[in-house]
Amino acid sequence: MTIIAAADGSALGNPGPAGWAWYIDDATWAAGGWDHGTNNMGELQAVLELFRATEHVRDQELRILCDSQYAINCVSKWMPGWKKKGWKKADGKPVLNQDILKQLDEAIRGRNYSFEWVRGHAGHELNEAADDKARAAATAHQQGQPVDRGPGYARGASATEPAPATEAADESEPAADLAAPAQPAADVVPTIVALERAVLDPGVRASFGEYVDFLHPGYQEISRGGILLDVATVQRLLDSGRSLPATAPLQLLTGQALSDTTVLIAYRMEPEGQGLLCSSWWHLTENGWKLRFRQETVEQTR
């Protein structure tokens, strides 16, 4: 018998109040979260809790439906290499979320499991249910309310048939939902600056799986060399072994919330001694703040 379950995470602000959930059916699901976390933390924790909940039926195959390529790749591709390097990335920096990943590494030992990527917010019944419950957990933490943790995995719970196949995988995130919960404008600029610093981090920029989590599906960037980048271009660049342009610590010039769902920041940096003036437009989606547009302009000197 095969257990088929969806696992999903949610973060209101990314980072912000966060939740996780796994779902098999209305009688078999669980959810939880934190007052402060990221979408990736929620995705990984949901998978971890699913393995824990099904430990007593470990002889059964577990098929995990995820809309996060990051979570799938962490478990299926990257963890063995990270472990060999002492949980360090190729650039020598510590792997993000390694506390959860180390627990996952223990939980999957001896288990018969597989992952299936599904497009988020595309009507997939199990994925939609997991997403709803993860977001509800994040919202409960945001509002200081108790989290509905669900019934868990009851003894004798049955496996579920998969939902109809979705279209071919696309590693970008789903389109933004303009009705997503918004942060107060007074608090949002420091969050955006922190996210921008993460986007500039060389370790994040070296891994498409980590970098893409910050990008809006409609992301575009005009680089310092006048090249137009989008999600697909960045993936081809990194998959070919090439690198994104070098970065440096940012010197914030201004930051402004243009609306509850749009924030613009401008800053200066000097990668490799070259002065650059940069601007970034971040948009709030139901999966958190995502980089929608970015531009670099070479600073003119007299």
Q: What is the pLDDT of residue 185?
A: 41
Q: Show the domains of the chain with their CATH numbers.
A: 2-143 (3.30.420.10), 185-298 (3.10.450.50)
Task: Using the predicted structure, report yes or no on whether residue 260 has a pLDDT greater than 80.
Answer: yes
Closest residue by Cα to residue 200 from 257, 265, 244: 244
The two beta strands, 288-298 and 276-285, are: antiparallel
Give the C-alpha separation, 133 to 119, whole Å: 17
7-21, 52-66, 197-211: least confidently modelled range: 197-211
The two beta strands, 228-230 and 262-269, are: unpaired
Q: Name beta bridge partners: 25.
A: 28
Closest residue by Cα to residue 170 from 230, 120, 128, 206: 120
Which tens digits make up the pLDDT trace of 88-101? Answer: 887 788 888 999 99
**Contact in structure between 74 and 44 (CB atoms under 8 Å):** yes
Mean pLDDT across the stretch 35-49? Answer: 93
The two beta strands, 61-66 and 2-11, are: parallel
**Contact in structure between 280 and 262 (CB atoms under 8 Å):** no
C-alpha to C-alpha distances, 138 to 9, 11, 62, 177, 288, nearest whole angstrom: 9, 6, 26, 16, 11
Task: Using the predicted structure, report yes or no on whether residue 222 has a pLDDT greater than 90.
Answer: yes
- Output the six-digit token pair for 255: 């930051």
Q: What is the pLDDT of residue 47?
A: 97
- Output the six-digit token pair for 129: 């249910």
The catalytic residues are 8-9, 43, 67, 121, 131
Q: Any idea which residue has 């992301």 for tokens?
A: 219
Q: What is the pLDDT of residue 191?
A: 80
Task: Using the predicted structure, report yes or no on whether residue 280 has a pLDDT greater than 60.
Answer: yes
Which tens digits make up the pLDDT trace of 128-154? Answer: 999 999 999 999 999 999 999 999 997
pTM higher than the cut 0.75: no
158-162, 192-196, 206-210: least confidently modelled range: 158-162
